[in-house]
Copies of this chain bind each other. A is one copy, B any other.
Amino acid sequence: MSASVSQPRVGVWLIGARGSVATTVVAGCAAVTAGLHPPTGMVTETPPFEDCGLPPLSSLVFGGHDVVDCPLPKRAEALAAGGVLPPGLPAAVAAELTAADREIRPGGPVPGPTGHAPGPEGLITAFASDIRDFTRRCGLARTVVVNVASTEPAPTGGELPASSLYAAAALRAGCPYVDFTPSTGLHHPALAAARAASGLPYAGRDGKTGQTLLRSVLGPMFAQRALTVRAWSGTNLLGGGDGAALADPAAAAAKNAGKERVLADTLGTAPEGEVHIDDVPALGDWKTAWDHIAFDGFLGTRMILQTIWQGCDSALAAPLVLDLARLTARAHEAGLSGPLGELGFYFKDPVGEGPSSLGEQYAALLGFAERLRGGARGAADEPAARRPGEHR
């Protein structure tokens, strides 16, 4: 799947472009392109996704917004020291990290020309301009905007949260949008009209990387076997930026809503039990999720299933981000618009309609690949892909 000379290049604009996930995305894309590592964890590199017209990894160009300054090569070294990236990888892909770093623009409240911070409208304009400049300067066929920033607290006042400013900027720049976090982003009521009018496809929200991934296969198992789940309790321990962000109960609430929705949907009823998210800086980018499921068997016999998931959050998220950027870019090319419900496979709290069990979500994803393949053969002959306006 190497890029030919004539292959159009596709932009991936990352909100939170200097974070662990973004750094792993950029370094990993380069490493896989160079053949240094197999594409483990990338579903779009498996056989069912051949010939779907997805942009090859080698065609992806990265940029983004961030409020911190640490250059990507340095960030990558820190990740390698923490065991998130293989030792030696930062050096091997230094050129690609440096190239991406040049395309990162300051996010957050940028001071206006008079030294005053601009209002929300000014920020949206500035962000959209950054994205358009990136697309033009790099000669990109299109750019997908993906939010991989730290989870922000659920907004309380009427003001647009930062994630929604970025989402509005994506719309204004005419870019498909993927929300990989539970932050408000495109879902703010104030953006509803612009979102509908944009004719752009979008996907989200909150990447399903660990505990919820498990729940989306275990919940259906209990339901299919007619076993009654009495209580489903969970604790997540994680360090890194996400641990600190989610130690804020307001931010955790957003995340937990997605986790619990999976259970309610797959079990048909919400069981007892809480979910805790603890910030444990000693764990760095590693995450441990313990789940304790008390269920009744025949004649009310009490049984227990426990699961312990120990994963590296960035390494779990990055291949999904690459998948989503490719799928969403292709959906845009194929003229699809609105919520891409078929991508529910990737999310805790999927947009649009769709099943909650992973197996059915995978089937839906395969169907989506088929639809893209149809579109790839020639949109003129085969109008199966939804056009703007005809999306449910």
Given the interface pairs A24-B299, A282-B230, the reply to whether A235 lies near B42 with Cβ below 8 Å is no
Query: In whole Å, how far is A363's beta carbon from the nearest beta carbon of chain B?
Result: 9
Query: In whole Å, how far is A5's beta carbon from the nearest beta carbon of chain B?
Result: 28
Q: Is A357 an interface residue (CB 8 A)?
A: yes
A226 touches B272 (CB 8 A): no
User: Which stretch of A9-17, A169-177, A288-296 is in the interface?
Assistant: A288-296
Q: Tell me the residues in window 23-50 of chain A with beta carbons closer than 8 Å to chain B beta carbons.
A: 24, 27-28, 31, 37-43, 45-46
Find chain B residues with CB under 8 A from A39 CB: 226
Query: In whole Å, how far is A215's beta carbon from the nearest beta carbon of chain B?
Result: 11
A280 touches B272 (CB 8 A): yes
Cα of A225 to Cα of B362 in the assembled complex, Å? 9
Cα of A37 to Cα of B307 in the assembled complex, Å? 29
Main SS at interface, chain A: mixed
A358 touches B280 (CB 8 A): no
Given the interface pairs A231-B282, A359-B357, the reply to whether A28 lies near B292 with Cβ below 8 Å is no
Q: Is A140 an interface residue (CB 8 A)?
A: no
Find chain B residues with CB under 8 A from A359 CB: 217, 220, 224, 357-360
A231 touches B283 (CB 8 A): yes
Find chain B residues with CB under 8 A from A271 CB: 282
The residue that A221 contacts in the complex, of B214, B224, B290, with Cβ under 8 A, is: B214
B310 touches A303 (CB 8 A): yes
B24 touches A226 (CB 8 A): no
State the copy count for this chain. 4
The residue that A225 contacts in the complex, of B38, B213, B235, B305, with Cβ under 8 A, is: B213
Cα of A248 to Cα of B308 in the assembled complex, Å? 27
Cα of A319 to Cα of B360 in the assembled complex, Å? 26
Q: Closest B-chain residue to A216, C-beta based?
A: B221
Q: Tell me the residues in window 254-293 of chain A with beta carbons closer than 8 Å to chain B beta carbons.
A: 271-274, 276, 278, 280-283, 288, 290, 292
Residues of A within 8 A of B (CB): 24, 27-28, 31, 37-43, 45-46, 80-81, 83-87, 89, 213-214, 217-218, 220-221, 224-228, 230-231, 233, 235, 237, 271-274, 276, 278, 280-283, 288, 290, 292, 294, 296-301, 303-312, 315-316, 318-319, 345, 357-360, 362
**In the complex, the 5 A-B pairs of residues with the closest C-beta atoms, listed nearest first:** A359-B359, A230-B282, A301-B315, A231-B282, A41-B298
